Amino acid sequence: MISCALAIAALALGAADAKAPALFRPLAFQHRAVPDKVRLGDPLVYELQITHPADQRYELRPPRDLADLELTGTERGRADDQGKAVTTFKLHMAAFALGKQKLPDLVFDVISGDGSSGTFETHGAEVEVVPTISPTAAQNGEPLYDIQPPTEVPVRTWRLLWALAALLAAAALGYAASRFLRRATAAKPEKAVPLEPLDVRALRALDELRAEDLPGRGLFREFHFRLSEIVRGYLGERFGFDALECTSVELLDQLRRLRTPGLDYGSLERHVHESDLVKFARSPSTIDACKREMEWAYRVVQTTTAAMAPPAPPIPSARPPGAKPPSDAVRPLP
């Protein structure tokens, strides 16, 4: 009876071993932690490289007991070459305890090409976890604070003030728009005032300059600057170019090339030369010289205006050509 019981137990154990997964051993196995010395909480990579026959496939089971480690991600890669394959696993981790830390033991499921399957187990490598503060700071007694849970931090905000400012700006804009609409409704369209003739505006400017009597007050340079501006503005508008932006040389060159009826170019050249001496070289001037320049400016406006004026239309005769005189007209004696 005892021998029969032992035989039955042996058969049961054989059947259990037949159902248990076989243990596979790879052709080569390497594992390392990169880096092998890491600061507390900093990331590290646990790299495992398995060399095995090409008809086998290795799958990593998720590690269970991580203790003071945290798994943040995994990568898997495979390269085949001449009947062999190299499968690489990379586990991205972080350690939260100081000192020597053992990385987790791992289990791989192995599936062979003939349909058989099994497992491969490996012990974890070691990594050294160092403090985040320097040794000098640690010697000085600076504490190493542990990771703290999320806490509420008050942050100063100007949101309420910005909202009030936006409301005030909107109110001011609405008020301004209402006033503008009321004025636009109440305002009557004004008639466009026609621009006065050029000679009238130029002569008025000369009259105002003469009334200020700048030479009589000793302001000779100011007088020449003002007179030159009036003359340049008149000539530019009269002959169609921007005379106020021209230098003296450019002004004379431009007028030399244009058709300028009524303009005495020689007197203009003399005026420009003498005026530049007073304005820029601070040459002395007199009241009589300023009076002559003023009279010359009046003549320029008058002569060029008269020369540019259109010809007067002919006066129609009282009797059409070829018409007979009236019967009561006085006839010459024979």
Q: Which domain holds residue 232?
A: 198-308
Q: What is the pLDDT of residue 131?
A: 79
Is the confidence at residue 101, as pLDDT, over 50? yes
Residue 331 lies in a domain: no
Extract the runs of DSSP E, i.e. beta strands, from the chain. Answer: 22-23, 28-34, 37-39, 43-53, 57-60, 69-81, 84-95, 99-102, 106-111, 117-122, 126-130
CA distance 161 to 297: 64
Closest CA to 227 of 190, 278, 166: 278
Give the CATH number for residue 52: 2.60.40.10
CB proximity list for 58: less than 8 A, separation 6 or greater: 26, 50, 52, 87, 108, 109, 110, 120
Average pLDDT over residues 12-33: 66
pLDDT band, very low/low/confident/very high, at 303 (cuts 50, 70, 90): very high
Residue 73 lies in a domain: yes
Residues 42-85 pLDDT 10s: 898 999 999 999 888 999 998 887 878 888 889 999 999 888 99
Residue 104 lies in a domain: yes
Tokens found for residue 81? 């070459």
Is the confidence at residue 8, as pLDDT, over 70? no
Contact 303, 262 (CB under 8 A): yes
Q: Which helix (DSSP H) or strand (DSSP E) does residue 209 occupy?
A: helix 198-212
Q: Which residue has the tokens 């003296």?
A: 248
Q: How many residues does the chain have?
A: 334
Q: What is the pLDDT of residue 152?
A: 80
Contact 38, 130 (CB under 8 A): yes
Q: What is the pLDDT of residue 67?
A: 79
Residues 211-222 pLDDT 10s: 999 999 999 999
Q: Which residue has the tokens 């990331």?
A: 43
Q: What is the pLDDT of residue 315?
A: 64
Chain mean pLDDT for the chain = 81
Q: Same structural domain for residues 112 and 207?
A: no
Torsion of CA 232, 237, 240, 245, to 10 degrees: 40
Handedness of CA 172, 176, 178, 179 (dihedral sign): positive
pTM of the model: 0.40
CA distance 331 to 10: 175
The verdict on whether omega for the bond into residue 26 sits within 30 degrees of 0, i.e. cis, is no
The structural domain count of the chain equals 2
Residue 141 lies in a domain: no
Cβ burial 202-230 (10 Å sphere, 16+ → b, else e): bbebbeebbeeebbeeeebbebbebbbeb
Q: Same structural domain for residues 206 and 115?
A: no
Residue 136 lies in a domain: no
Average pLDDT over residues 284-298: 93
Residue 221 lies in a domain: yes
Kindly list the strands in the beta sheet with 69-81, ordered across the sheet, starting from the edge strand earlier in the chain.
28-34, 43-53, 84-95, 69-81
Is the confidence at residue 140, as pLDDT, over 70? no
pLDDT band, very low/low/confident/very high, at 334 (cuts 50, 70, 90): very low
Average pLDDT over residues 105-121: 88
Lowest mean pLDDT of 85-89, 111-115, 237-241, name the range: 111-115
Q: Same structural domain for residues 31 and 123?
A: yes
Residues 151-192 pLDDT 10s: 887 777 778 788 888 989 998 888 888 888 887 766 555 566
Q: What is the pLDDT of residue 146?
A: 59
Is the confidence at residue 294, as pLDDT, over 90? yes
Residue 188 lies in a domain: no
Q: What is the pLDDT of residue 24?
A: 81
Residue 192 lies in a domain: no
CA distance 247 to 272: 10
Rg (CA), the chain: 55
Is the confidence at residue 287, as pLDDT, over 90? yes
First to last CA, the chain: 194
